Amino acid sequence: MSQRIFLLRVIRRLVFIGRKATNRLYQLTSDTEHRLSAMIESRPVVAGDGMVAKARQFAEVYYGANAAVTPVMPALPRAGREPAVVLLLPTLSNSSLFGGAATALIFAALLSQRRGMPLRVVQTVVNGEASRLQGLFDKYGIPVNAATVEVLSVAERRHNFYGYLDLHPEDQLVVSAWWDAALVAAFPLRRKFIYLVQDYEPIFYANSDQKLLAEQSYASGNFVAVCNTVLMAQCISESGKLAKDTPVLHFEPMVARLPRTQPQGTARAKRTLFFYGRPSVERNLFYFGLRILNEVFSRNLLRAEEWDVVMAGEGSAPNIQLESGVVIRNLGKLTLDEYDALKMKTDVALSLMMAPHPSYPPLELALAGAAVVTSRYGPKHSLGSYSENILCVPADLEAMIEAVVKASQMSESERLANVKRSILPLDWQSAFAACFEELDLLLDRPAPGQTGTPALAARTTA
């Protein structure tokens, strides 16, 4: 054995011993932290007899199964930190900056501007790269420099590894996901937090712990509900889950009108049918959508040679050949620019959503000039006020087939004319304007059980 190999082995052994020692030190400090927390919170510290030593701790079992609600520990702010708008978001991963996550970021950014406060974004599930924030703000005309946004993460926390979030007494917290609402409801807040309700999340789960936790997130009573669409305000108000006198506000989302101004049908060999296909998201009814398209082409209601059929939304789904021979090509998870390009050439879209929120794809596609077929659910019966390009029909096979055929018969000039008629605002500033005015009356009101500067009386609205 050469001297070099001998030295390398010695170094490897020392590294191994150091790693074991570090792990033991980590476990010791973690146990000490838990014991101190138990003492602070007046919980019993269990002695380590033989039987107990074999038992798994409650926190390990419970939060192992419900990781998203693993507590975040509030901490004192660093010296000199100014009050901020603090947005809790599952992740800032680039693939997640669509739909509700994008709306929450834009809402928080504009709220921070309105109140003259810096913006902090706290990732709670996945610590993403957050490299496209500026692109998101620029795309929607939000005059915020992403470099000034402080990005934090508590996503790494576990039952035996605490996550800490420093809180200023005058911070304004904003959440969108139910688990973040559950986390914030446990904080000792001076003022109500803002709960952006962008769908009725309990229906995302079968009867389960997750469904119960999602329902319970509406019951804390120390938030202002700001709902994405009047449909969501109606849904949450009628759910019976809100605490008494919880203020309920709503806004209609901004959706871009893309500049497809001239009919393109004569310039293309085939028309485009777009299927919003996400097999992992059950409420998007992926397999029902496949069945609808299979029947439409099998019955020759649409001629296969006249249509290019594509889907997008997830990269894992395969290309799918229907019984008629038509192949649905999966374009995968698109960037914002790729999605815009697809919207501008789509003639007919099938975008299903078994939930009360209209969801963004039907609105975005309709205002890009496509005829869109989507599904009714709860208070969502008609979306004609958003656009006459949207056919909202019962989730029944024959009704859906009929709607797809009807959508294919809408001329491009008719669809483009419908784009001009919509209640949806043209920019996010006007979308949130009325909400911000009402929030000005509500945000400084003390949270239940807390003290603070009295504000004008809150009013409940939908």
pLDDT for the residue numbered 451: 44
Confidence of residue 311 (pLDDT cuts 50, 70, 90): very high
The answer, yes or no, to whether residue 23 has pLDDT greater than 80, is no
End-to-end, the C-alpha distance of the chain in Å comes to 80
CATH 3.40.50.2000 fits 265-419, yes or no: yes
Beta bridge partners of 172: 85
- Cα separation, 6 vs 139, whole angstroms: 59
- Summarised one tens digit per residue, pLDDT across range 96-115 is 888 899 999 999 999 999 99
Residue 264: what pLDDT? Answer: 53
The β-bridge relationship of strands 371-375 and 348-350 is: parallel
Q: For the chain, give the percent of residues with pLDDT over 70.
A: 91
| pLDDT exceeds 70 at position 458 | no
Q: Which residue has the higher pLDDT, 375 or 6?
A: 375
What pLDDT was estimated at residue 289? 98
Query: What is the Cα–Cα distance from 355 to 31, expressed in whole angstroms?
Result: 44
pLDDT higher than 60, residue 139:
yes
Strand, helix or coil for residue 57? coil
pLDDT confidence tier of residue 268, bands split at 50, 70 and 90 = low
pLDDT at 462: 32
Given a cut of 60, whether residue 51 has pLDDT beyond it is no
Tokens at residue 349, please? 């879209």
CA distances from 117 to 101, 138, 149, 226, 456 (A): 21, 20, 11, 20, 21
Q: What CATH code would you report for 67-254+435-442? A: 3.40.50.11090
Identify whether the C-beta of residue 296 lies closer than 8 Å to the C-beta of residue 405: yes
Query: What's the pLDDT tens digit per position in 162-218?
Result: 899 999 999 999 999 999 999 999 999 999 999 999 999 999 999 999 999 999 999
Average per-residue pLDDT in the chain? 89
Task: Output 269 or 41, whichever has higher pLDDT.
Answer: 269
pLDDT digits (tens, 9 = 90+) for 409-447: 999 999 999 999 999 999 999 999 999 999 999 986 555
Q: Which residue has the higher pLDDT, 331 or 6?
A: 331
Record the tokens describing residue 280, joined without a space.
């992992």
Q: Residue ranges per domain, the chain?
A: 67-254+435-442, 265-419
> Does the structure show a pLDDT above 50 at 456?
no
